[in-house]
């Protein structure tokens, strides 16, 4: 290694190297004698070798014995220290530091090189591929660790290697086990060396070594044994997330009152609710939250919250029925009108990470601003006109009616008048609403209620519904059914109305009453499916 140079000597050498470099470039441009160029290059390399590596940024040299033993150290013609890539972690750390990246998730597959002895150590190679997946940044506690385990599980499952076991090697976990057993911190390393033998030796032999050689008491070894030999099914371990330990409840949600629409809240101003703290898991994010249960009115069925408040704020919906709070319509109808694309993560760590970020963002607001894609939608959006025409003018308490008793339908109900459900036969056993799913309702996919409303809303600018499918052509409105023919024609020429849609009279003409071609001079179209009697419901929203 070159001796340490003073600042003045190093500066003089650097100036001489720069001058030689300029001279070499000039000789090459003039196409001088190659021997002369080689002479100048050799002189410049000798000077560079005198400079060495001192003071050069970006150098990472492993000083530990293991690093010096296994890393290929190289040196170029100028004496600059180089190394072949030992692993993928050190380059990743350098990349984060150089680009000032705070949060990142990435995977990398590349070759690494170890100065090993394959002849001496069986199964070791000097050149091989390594796969790294790294999570850097600040996240919720234990979430990155859980995601890493999930990645390993998915990769090995798709490789179809058969049954496998994932072993977690984390020094902090081992230190926590030893510390909880009452072992002094100074003895951690010696105790760890004994625990490492459990793969080859039984616990009785390791315990004897801990007592005789490491100075641990019998009580300490028994406590340590309960940790290192802990074995339990995955389901039993995961159930600990709802245990009584407070540190597991950091990400759980507690609230004093639910987020409800007027329909689910009911007409009773003196409502009594049952509150169960952390009593239910959210249907969407599967996180425990505070559950509420109440009866919205006399004779109505009991209701309860189905999703947590964070998920409700992301979609700006009710925690129970998952209808939009502003317009009282299904989420699928609102997203269709506002042209919102649902790109929310549905499962796994990506969903949990998204919900946590949204929760932090919502905590910084006053609580009245919706999250997600709704935060960018203003009141002047063109889709709000359609929603205003479709929304109800008041709460729809009929939705709170009790369901039909399934035992009564089969003739097996024995509760009589005490039964809280309706004793009547269903009008349509194949009703698609019976197949409605809460997740589909929240994400706005395959919602039968929303599809029914959207079918009524499609058509012209006034959001009329389509004709009955089994009719060959639409029937014209007879002139005697038009109250004011002049006003009707003027309204047609004035373009789409900004008020509520016109209600069609309840007088329903039959197919034999009027010719399909319609009377002369009538250009209006009558849709039988638009009549309230044919719809079988009053108002704008069909349950």
Q: Note whether 499 and 424 are same-domain residues.
A: no
Q: 220 in a domain, yes or no?
A: yes
Domain edge (last residue) among 426, 457, 488 = 457
For 193, the enclosing helix (H) or strand (E) is helix 188-195
Q: Kindly indicate the confidence band of residue 111, based on its pLDDT and cuts at 50, 70 and 90.
A: very high
Q: Kindly indicate the confidence band of residue 233, based on its pLDDT and cuts at 50, 70 and 90.
A: low
Q: Kindly indicate the confidence band of residue 367, based on its pLDDT and cuts at 50, 70 and 90.
A: low
pLDDT of the residue at 358: 81
Summary mean pLDDT of the chain: 72
pLDDT digits (tens, 9 = 90+) for 426-465: 666 555 555 567 888 888 877 777 887 888 777 544 444 3
Q: Note whether 38 and 88 are same-domain residues.
A: no
Q: How many other β-carbons are positioned within 10 Å of the β-carbon of residue 377?
A: 17
Residue 60 clears pLDDT 60, i.e. is over it: no
Q: Note whether 350 and 492 are same-domain residues.
A: no
**Beta carbons of 12 and 51 less than 8 angstroms apart:** no
Q: Note whether 195 and 280 are same-domain residues.
A: no
**Beta carbons of 277 and 290 less than 8 angstroms apart:** yes
Q: Note whether 351 and 486 are same-domain residues.
A: no
Q: How many residues are there in the chain?
A: 543
Domain edge (last residue) among 397, 427, 457 = 457
Q: 2 in a domain, yes or no?
A: no
- The model carries a pTM of 0.41
Question: Dihedral through CA 71, CA 75, CA 81, CA 87, nearest 10?
Answer: -30
Instruction: Calculate the alpha carbon distances from 165 to 153, 192, 237, 379 in Å.
Output: 9, 22, 15, 54
Query: Half-sphere exposure of 39 toward its Cβ, with a 13 Å CA cutoff?
Result: 6
Q: Note whether 273 and 420 are same-domain residues.
A: yes
Q: What is the mean pLDDT of residues 256-269?
A: 83
Residue 345 clears pLDDT 70, i.e. is over it: yes
pLDDT of the residue at 275: 87
Q: Note whether 254 and 218 are same-domain residues.
A: no
Q: 59 in a domain, yes or no?
A: no
Identify the domain containing residue 343 by its residue range.
Answer: 247-457
Q: What is the mean pLDDT of residues 212-220?
A: 88
Say how far apart CA 499 and CA 295 lie, in whole Å: 36
pLDDT digits (tens, 9 = 90+) for 472-493: 344 444 454 444 444 444 444 4
Which residue, 307, 316, 318, is CA-closest to 373? Answer: 316
3-class DSSP state for residue 288?
strand
pLDDT of the residue at 442: 87
Q: What is the mean pLDDT of residues 74-85?
A: 75
pLDDT digits (tens, 9 = 90+) for 2-51: 456 777 888 888 888 888 888 888 888 888 888 888 888 888 888 887 77
Q: Note whether 222 and 317 are same-domain residues.
A: no
- List phi, psi (to 5°) of 183: -85, 135
Q: Note whether 204 and 132 are same-domain residues.
A: no
Which residue, 380, 382, 359, 381, is CA-closest to 371? Answer: 359
Q: 495 in a domain, yes or no?
A: yes
pLDDT of the residue at 515: 38
Say how far apart CA 355 and CA 307 lie, in whole Å: 12
Q: Note whether 73 and 216 are same-domain residues.
A: no
pLDDT digits (tens, 9 = 90+) for 281-299: 888 888 888 889 888 877 7
Q: 330 in a domain, yes or no?
A: yes
Domain edge (last residue) among 437, 457, 477 = 457
Residue 510 clears pLDDT 60, i.e. is over it: no
| Ranges 169-178, 519-528, 530-539, most confident | 169-178
Say how far apart CA 163 and CA 150 lie, in whole Å: 15
More confident call, 208 vs 69: 208
Residue 226 clears pLDDT 80, i.e. is over it: yes
Which residue, 227, 119, 113, is CA-closest to 180? Answer: 227
Q: Note whether 452 and 472 are same-domain residues.
A: no
Say how far apart CA 390 and CA 448 lie, in whole Å: 16
pLDDT of the residue at 522: 32
DSSP codes joined into one string, 458-499: -SSTT-PPPPPTT-SSPEEPPGGG-S-HHHHHHHHHT-S-SS
Q: Note whether 473 and 450 are same-domain residues.
A: no
Which residue, 221, 284, 297, is CA-closest to 253? Answer: 284
Q: 147 in a domain, yes or no?
A: no
pLDDT digits (tens, 9 = 90+) for 326-341: 888 888 888 888 888 7
Q: 238 in a domain, yes or no?
A: no
Q: Kindly indicate the confidence band of residue 109, based on its pLDDT and cuts at 50, 70 and 90.
A: very high
Q: Kindly indicate the confidence band of residue 110, based on its pLDDT and cuts at 50, 70 and 90.
A: very high
pLDDT digits (tens, 9 = 90+) for 136-194: 888 877 788 888 888 888 888 888 888 888 888 778 888 888 888 888 888 888 888 88
Share of the chain above pLDDT 70, in %: 69
Domain count, the chain: 5
**Beta carbons of 224 and 177 less than 8 angstroms apart:** yes
Q: 191 in a domain, yes or no?
A: yes
């Amino acid at each position: 290694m070159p001796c340490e140079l003073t600042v003045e000597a190093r500066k003089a050498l650097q100036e001489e190297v720069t001058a030689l470099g300029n001279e070499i470039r000039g000789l090459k441009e003039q196409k001088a004698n190659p021997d002369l160029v080689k002479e100048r290059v050799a002189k410049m390399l000798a000077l560079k070798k005198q400079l060495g590596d001192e003071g050069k940024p970006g150098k990472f040299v492993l000083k530990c014995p293991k690093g010096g033993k296994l890393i290929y150290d190289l040196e170029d013609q100028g004496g600059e220290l180089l190394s072949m890539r030992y692993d993928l972690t050190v380059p990743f750390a350098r990349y984060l530091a150089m680009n000032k990246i705070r949060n990142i998730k990435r995977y990398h597959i590349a070759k690494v090189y170890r100065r090993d002895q394959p002849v001496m150590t069986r199964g070791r190679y000097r050149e091989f591929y390594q796969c790294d997946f790294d999570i850097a940044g600040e996240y919720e506690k234990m979430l990155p660790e859980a995601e890493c385990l999930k990645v390993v599980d998915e990769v090995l499952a798709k490789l179809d290697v058969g049954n496998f076991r994932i072993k977690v090697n984390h020094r902090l976990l081992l230190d926590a086990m030893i510390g909880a057993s009452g072992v002094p911190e100074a003895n951690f390393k010696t105790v760890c060396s004994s625990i490492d033998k459990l793969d080859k030796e039984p616990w009785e032999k390791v315990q004897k070594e801990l007592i005789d050689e490491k100075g641990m008491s019998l009580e300490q070894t028994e406590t340590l044994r309960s940790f290192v030999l802990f074995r339990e099914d995955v389901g039993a371990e995961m159930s600990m997330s709802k245990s009584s330990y407070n540190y597991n409840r950091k990400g759980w949600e507690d609230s004093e009152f639910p987020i409800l629409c007027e329909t689910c809240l009911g007409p009773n101003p003196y409502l009594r609710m049952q509150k169960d703290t952390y009593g239910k898991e959210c249907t969407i994010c599967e996180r425990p939250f505070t559950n509420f249960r109440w009866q919205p009115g006399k004779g109505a069925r009991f209701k309860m919250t189905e999703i947590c408040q964070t998920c409700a704020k992301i979609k700006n919906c009710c925690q129970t029925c998952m209808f939009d709070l502003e317009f009282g319509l299904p989420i699928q109808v609102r997203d269709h009108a506002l042209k919102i694309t649902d790109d929310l993560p549905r499962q796994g760590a990506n969903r949990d990470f998204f919900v946590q970020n949204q929760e932090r963002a919502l905590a910084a607001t006053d609580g009245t601003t919706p999250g997600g894609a709704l935060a960018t939608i203003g009141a002047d959006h063109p889709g709000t006109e359609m929603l205003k025409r479709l929304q109800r003018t008041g709460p729809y308490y009929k939705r709170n009616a009790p369901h039909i008793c399934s035992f009564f339908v089969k003739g097996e109900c024995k509760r009589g008048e005490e039964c809280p459900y309706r004793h009547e036969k269903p009008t349509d056993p194949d009703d698609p609403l019976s197949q409605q799913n809460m997740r589909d309702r929240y994400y706005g996919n395959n919602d039968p209620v929303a599809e029914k409303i959207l079918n009524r809303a499609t058509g012209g600018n006034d959001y009329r519904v389509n004709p009955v499918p089994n009719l060959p052509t639409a029937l014209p409105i007879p002139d005697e059914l038009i109250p004011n023919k002049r006003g009707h024609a003027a309204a047609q020429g004035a373009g789409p109305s900004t008020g509520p849609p016109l209600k069609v009279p309840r007088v329903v003409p039959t197919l034999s009453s009027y010719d399909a071609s319609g009377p002369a001079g009538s250009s209006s179209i009558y849709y039988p499916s638009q009549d309230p009697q044919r719809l079988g419901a009053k108002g704008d929203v069909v349950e």
